[in-house]
Amino acid sequence: MKCRKCDQKAVINMRQHKLALCAVHFPQWMVEQTQRFIEKYRMFTPKERVLVAVSGGKDSLSLWDILWQLGYTADGVYIALGIDGGFGYSRKSQELCEKFAAQRGLKLIVVDAAQQLGATIPELAAITQRGKNKPCSVCGLTKRHILDQVAREGQYDVLATGHNLDDEVAVLFGNTLNWNVGYLSRQSPVLPARHAGLVRKVKPLCRFYEREMAAYALVRGIEYIYEECPHAEGSTTIYYKTLLNQLETDRPGAKLSFYLAFLQAKEKGFLAQPQTEDDEEGIGAAGEHLHTCPSCGGPTTLEGLCAFCRMVEKVK
């Protein structure tokens, strides 16, 4: 198959867009599309400072690469979680992020979670029992907290994450199955800051399929960690992704239209802001007044220490 824009061999055929592109025109198209999404959803302007959360995976590093090409002021932040999984998961991902930043002369902030907490994520999960079998709930809470803190202290305007369409659709599918209106009403390419201790959160890759992100990383020669976090295995999200991949195979474009139709429905007011459920950040209902944690300055639903600081107290 040939590229739509030139005579070269296409490296990808995006059936949902009826578009095949070569190794030169595909990455160009990805960069242009990202800029279009940044403007369309009013994510940020060239004057604003962006903090990119990088994990060493293809999505976050590709996002950083795209923003760098577009000329945005974008620093990276990597959180060392201390997860090994028998293959040095955290160590390897950190090395890849450092290499990526060094090659492009970009600033990478590395935060060692164990140093901040006094324990690694798996240790913390065991101590607090919050993780039960898996450390993901402790991990999620810690990552959210550290990202907010780094963004706040570094006076960034916006925090960008590498969630792709497959990620967003899996979350959307799960929330729809449970009719979790609280989460649905807050799932968006842009999450405005609701508290002085929070910055705006954006997902510039939310309309790209995972296979497009993998192709982009490959064509651009981005070295990333292929392995998933060892604790991701058997997660509900992966199960939903498998189901949705089956749907996409039978009906190309199904994921994209499910997501876009959801965003449109929301715009039309299909989902009102509920007052009783937690939002996507897990801190209170969408319109609810948030308090300030006296220890870290972050947001909390109740007066007193936030969930993260309460967890750290337990470790002490």
CA-based nearest residue to 192, from 42, 45, 39: 42
What CA–CA distance (Å, rounded) separates 210 from 67?
18
Q: Residue 82 binds what, of Zn ion, ligand Q46, none (CB under 5 to 8 Å, by partner type)?
A: none
Q: Residue 220 binds what, of ligand Q46, Zn ion, none (CB under 5 to 8 Å, by partner type)?
A: none
- Regarding 6 and contact with Zn ion (CB under 5 A), the answer is yes
Q: Residue 231 binds what, of ligand Q46, Zn ion, none (CB under 5 to 8 Å, by partner type)?
A: ligand Q46
| Bridge partner residues of 20 (DSSP) | 13
- Regarding 139 and contact with ligand Q46 (CB under 6 A), the answer is yes
DSSP 230: G
Tokens of 27: 């990455």
- Regarding 136 and contact with ligand Q46 (CB under 6 A), the answer is yes
Q: Residue 232 binds what, of Zn ion, ligand Q46, none (CB under 5 to 8 Å, by partner type)?
A: ligand Q46
DSSP 73: E
Q: Residue 141 binds what, of Zn ion, ligand Q46, none (CB under 5 to 8 Å, by partner type)?
A: none
State in angstroms the smallest separation of the CB of 256 from Zn ion. 23
91 SS3 class? helix
DSSP 48: S
- Regarding 25 and contact with Zn ion (CB under 5 A), the answer is yes
Q: Which of 11, 158, 199, 296 binds Zn ion (CB under 5 A)?
A: 296
- Regarding 282 and contact with ligand Q46 (CB under 6 A), the answer is no
DSSP 232: G
Buried b (16+ CB within 10 A) or exposed e, 273-296: ebeebbbbeebbbbeeebbebeeb
Q: Judged by CB, which is closer to ligand Q46: 135, or 197?
A: 135
Given the rule CB under 6 A, which of 34-42, 151-159, 225-233, 307-315 is the region that contacts ligand Q46? 225-233
- Regarding 231 and contact with ligand Q46 (CB under 6 A), the answer is yes
Given the rule CB under 6 A, which of 136-144, 186-194, 201-209, 291-299 is the region that contacts ligand Q46? 136-144
Q: For residue 88, report the phi and psi dihedrals to the nearest 5 degrees.
A: 65, 45
Q: Which helix (H) or strand (E) holds 69?
A: helix 58-69
Q: Residue 229 binds what, of ligand Q46, Zn ion, none (CB under 5 to 8 Å, by partner type)?
A: ligand Q46
How many chain residues interact with Zn ion (CB under 5 A)?
12
What CA–CA distance (Å, rounded) separates 302 from 21?
52
8 Å CB contact between 80 and 95: no
Contact residues for ligand Q46 (CB under 6 A)?
135-136, 139-140, 229, 231-232
Residues that bind Zn ion (CB under 5 A): 3, 5-6, 8, 22, 25, 293, 295-296, 298, 306, 309
